[in-house]
Each structure stands twice: as C-alpha cells, then as structure tokens.
Amino acid sequence: MVAVPDDEARIDAELQETEKSIGELQKRRAELLRAKGAIKWSKTKGTQHVTPTSTAGTVASPASAKALEEALKSLEWTSFKKKEGEWAFLRSRDGHLVDALASETDFVDQLRKGKEVVVGRYRYAVSEDKFLNRRFEA
C-alpha cells in the first residue's frame, strides 16, 4: 500500500516529536551525570580533576570538573587514523552544541578561544569549531 501525503505528514510530525524527546532526554541525562558527579565528589572530597598548564584553562570547581569529565566520557569518541588521540563531534548537524556539552559552556568557550584544557587524563582542543579533539596527557 502506498503512503498518502497525510500519512507522510503525520510520520514527519511524529519524527520531529521523537527528535525533540530525544534531545530532552539527552539534556536530562547530562543533568543527572553532573548531579552524580557532584555526589561522588562530595563523598570522596577528591581533588580537582582539571590540571592547569601553561596553555590550558581551568574549570570552576571540583564538582563541576567531575561533571564535565562525566559529560566528556559520554561522547562517542573515534580514534584518529594517522595520529594519536580521538575526536568527537562538538556540534550537532543543526550547529548547536551536542547535548552532553550544552551545559558546559565555560569549557567550550575556553576551547573556542584557542586554549587547551586538561580534564582528567586528557588534553582537549577544538578544531574547525565542529570537532572536539583529545589526546592522552602523560
């Protein structure tokens, strides 16, 4: 049976609604990861996971550093083919920050200013304002 235009419009509307729901769930996931990181930090009262270096920026507090680290872990990382390190998308297809980083604007702003930021065991940088790159920090 061939789909009629009304069916196609209904499916398009459902797809848009589904995309919106997915976006909301990803934002909620990021919020929960930040909350979980803050709880873990308060239990352990660990040290800040952001290591400042000469060209690196810093993150405001240990709790936010832990939340940032969790958000970064949640991204889909892909290994570079010809050099060490990994990359993930910084922006979605529509040009907005990926949901996991939507609340981490200070971190992204530092990177966009050309700084490198060390979080946990990785040094992060941005390329082409589209990609987030990381390499292992020795």
**pLDDT grade, residue 34 (50/70/90)?**
low
**pLDDT value at position 28?**
74
- 77, pLDDT greater than 80: yes
Cα distance between residue 72 and residue 30, in whole Å? 10
Cα distance between residue 99 and residue 104, in whole Å? 10
**pLDDT value at position 106?**
85
- 96, pLDDT greater than 90: no
Sign, Cα dihedral of 65, 67, 68, 73? positive
Residue 124, C-beta contacts closer than 8 angstroms, at least 6 positions apart: 72, 107, 111, 116, 117, 118, 132, 133, 134
- 49, pLDDT greater than 60: no
The percentage of the chain sitting over the pLDDT mark of 70, rounded to a whole number, equals 72
Cα distance between residue 111 and residue 90, in whole Å? 11
The percentage of the chain sitting over the pLDDT mark of 90, rounded to a whole number, equals 16
Cα distance between residue 74 and residue 115, in whole Å? 22
DSSP assignment of 49-82 equals SB---TTEE--S-HHHHHHHHHHHHTS--EE-SS
Residue pLDDT, tens place only, 101-123 = 888 888 888 888 888 888 888 99
Q: What is the pTM of this model?
A: 0.55
Mean pLDDT across 63-78: 85
- 55, pLDDT greater than 90: no
85 and 124 Cβ atoms separated by less than 8 Å = no
- 25, pLDDT greater than 80: no
